Amino acid sequence: MNVFVTGATGFIGRRLVDKLIKKGYQVTALVRRKDPDLPSRVNIVEGDILNINSYMSSQSNYDCLFHLAAYISFDPKDKDKIMHINGDATVNLLYVAKKWGIKKIVFVSSASTIGFSDSKEVLIDETASYNTKLINNSPYMASKVFAEKAAINLSNKQHIVIVNPSTVYGPDDWTLNSGTLIKKVYESKILPVPSGIANVVDVDDVVDGIIAASLKGRTGERYILGGYNLTFKEMFSQVSNVLNKQPLMIPMMPLFRFPLSMSAGLIGKLLNSRIITPQVINNMFSYRNLSNKKARNELGWTPKYSFKDSVKRAWKFYRDNKLI
């Protein structure tokens, strides 16, 4: 099978490319730089996802498009950039895919578009309506919702499947996206523990879900690729055990939500971080209890790695590459 991949040098994208090659796929990757760190068997198309003309002429009878390219930032100052890369560029890419006559498209979105549960006990799934308040407060979520709506609208003319990974852990996380939490546990003697719940999943489980979606996914449908719903206390405890670190954990009840989110805003500005924002801290007091039932039933997908295993794999990668 001949496939076209965007975001091939990213956290999930690199693992996907490796898996596709092992399965015997012919892989072409759209990249921005001349010498990407990709296997030699990957065909390289140098271009910018924001510029259709830079890659449109690379048509080569592709059977499937895997669209993973995205800009990850939760900083409202980056709103225009986020919307252009995650929103507008996705719409343009879908247009090009139709011109190329690609039979199947898998768009890798985010579980952030699913929103949050109403309580600790309630699971939320793909039938949840988009939350306008959350969208207005998160440019990243807004960009992914915009792209999802465009994909769903086009899915009656093109075979487009959407997958929604939750928070991804594992090796090849060069930018310490999810690794920020692991780094925090490693460096802290006192650790505030928010009262919320998050869903976590291993990077290689996500890759398996993406491939399964290309083979079995129904057009216009979303599939949550989420592994385990864990409280932040459970997450921090498991990370601490793997790292052999035992910081003093201080439970943060919901009443701490506002002061901590304000502190995060100041820290984010001082560190010039696009990850540490008030909205991100607010989310840590919410309940992202996700159901992966649909992916299990329709894609035959089952996560293989426990959270502890994912952290072990990620920790080895960070240490081997001196990232932490």
Buried b (16+ CB within 10 A) or exposed e, 38-54: beeebebbebebeebee
First-last CA distance in the chain: 38
User: In the chain, which residue ranges form alpha helices assigned H by DSSP?
Assistant: 11-22, 79-82, 89-100, 132-137, 139-154, 179-187, 203-216, 232-243, 257-271, 278-283, 293-294, 307-320
- For residue 59, the model assigns a pLDDT of 77
Where along the chain do its domains lie? 2-170+201-227+290-305
- For residue 256, the model assigns a pLDDT of 57
Buried b (16+ CB within 10 A) or exposed e, 117-155: beeeeeebbbebeebeebbebbbbbbbbbbbbebbbebb
- For residue 37, the model assigns a pLDDT of 81
- For residue 257, the model assigns a pLDDT of 54
As averages over each run of 10 residues, the pLDDT of the chain (324 residues) reads: 95 97 96 81 92 86 96 84 94 93 96 91 94 89 96 95 97 90 92 90 98 98 97 95 93 63 49 54 82 98 97 96 93
CA-based torsion, 202, 73, 193, 117: positive or negative: negative
- For residue 20, the model assigns a pLDDT of 98
This prediction's pTM:
0.91
- For residue 273, the model assigns a pLDDT of 47
**What class, spelled out in words, does domain 2-170+201-227+290-305 have in CATH?**
alpha beta
- For residue 203, the model assigns a pLDDT of 98
CA distance linking residue 15 with residue 209, whole number of Å: 12
